[in-house]
Amino acid sequence: MQRRTFIHHFGLSAVALGAGIPKLRPTTDFSLTILHTNDLHGRFEKTTAFSAQASEMIRKARNTQQNVLLLDAGDVLNPSLSQGHELQWMKSMGYDAFAIGNHDFDRGMEDLARQIQQSQLTTLAANYRCENTPLHGLIKPYRIFEKAGQRIGVIGLGVNPQGSIPLVLREGIVYQDPLETANQLAATLKQVEGCTLVICLSHLGYHYKDQQISDLRLAAETRHIDLIIGGHTHTFLPEPVVVNNLDKKPVLINHAGWGGLLMGRMDVQCRGGVIHTVKGENIPVGSGELN
């Protein structure tokens, strides 16, 4: 699997915050390294090459970069297990947050709730209402991380459960339109919360032939989202994809295949609260390539 590096240079006003919006340190140069996975499906037992090499990648990134986020775009659990500890594993690896995928319901909401409570891992699904389920109070729509005095908003979005999650496993979940949800939250994060960057962890899927909502549509039909880290369709992108949003500003989308074969990495450089450059790559894992 060939490794490729992608570099995108933004115009000076590409994703600038609006006038009058609070910013922590808008004149400070800022860099952020995002490591990400998706659709692991529990394929990360400690004896596998993925766990060993992913751990080394994470360690090296955190030793060489001041600001690192480790994120996952859903389908972490292994449906073949009767009871597992996948979220504990993610916590031990240093993951900061993950978005719920449809297969994370495969062992039932009680098991998922147990894992979230035990691991205390930030679990995101902004367009799922869970008040009348075992997940009540455990799922957040977003989380704000502070890195070097900057606020980074991370939103989670889940796929339509109808047709992707059996009714018996999702009873009580209320699905909301991800485009409306993302637009509302991204505007709040940028304009009210003063976030320099808004990242969306999406388990919507990369692209469909019909009008089903995908990451390509999410980027094109929203505002204020800077980066989309996606999953669900097991898409192997050779490099991040750039799509213009409703304001004709670039949004970067990346997917890292499935099963732990790749780990995505994006290095974001901001100047004065504005994205200047993004370097992205999907790094093969289990191949011995760690540089």
Q: Tell me what percent of the residues of the chain surpass a pLDDT of 90.
A: 74
Q: Which residues contact 251 (CB under 8 A, 6 or more apart)?
A: 219, 222, 225, 226, 227, 228, 242, 243, 244, 245
- Tell me the CA distances in angstroms from 76 to 97, 143, 194, 203, 259, one per residue in order: 12, 19, 31, 11, 9
pLDDT at 139 over 60: yes
pLDDT at 289 over 70: no
Would you state the pLDDT for residue 235? Answer: 96
Would you state the pLDDT for residue 51? Answer: 85
Superfamily of domain 5-284: Metallo-dependent phosphatases (3.60.21.10)
Would you state the pLDDT for residue 8? Answer: 86
pLDDT at 120 over 50: yes
Q: Indicate the pLDDT class of residue 6, thresholds 50, 70 and 90.
A: confident
Task: Kindly report the pTM of this predicted structure.
Answer: 0.91
Would you state the pLDDT for residue 286? Answer: 63
Structure-token pair, residue 155: 């939103």
User: Is the model more confident about 57 or about 22?
Assistant: 57
Would you state the pLDDT for residue 23? Answer: 43
- What average pLDDT score do residues 19-28 get? 43
Would you state the pLDDT for residue 101? Answer: 97
Span of 47-56, 110-119, 162-171 with lowest mean pLDDT: 47-56
> Exposed e or buried b for every residue in 151-165, given b needs 16+ CB within 10 A?
bbbbbbbbbebeebb
Per-residue pLDDT tens for 244-286? 999 999 999 999 999 989 999 999 998 877 788 989 999 998 6
User: Is the model more confident about 101 or about 30?
Assistant: 101
Distance CA 236, CA 255 (A): 6
pLDDT at 72 over 90: yes
Would you state the pLDDT for residue 129? Answer: 97
Between CA 4 and CA 53, with CA 198 as vertex, the angle to 5 degrees is: 40
Per-residue pLDDT tens for 165-221? 999 999 999 999 999 999 999 999 999 999 999 999 999 999 999 889 999 999 999
Mean of per-residue pLDDT scores for the chain: 88
Q: Indicate the pLDDT class of residue 9, thresholds 50, 70 and 90.
A: confident
pLDDT at 33 over 90: yes
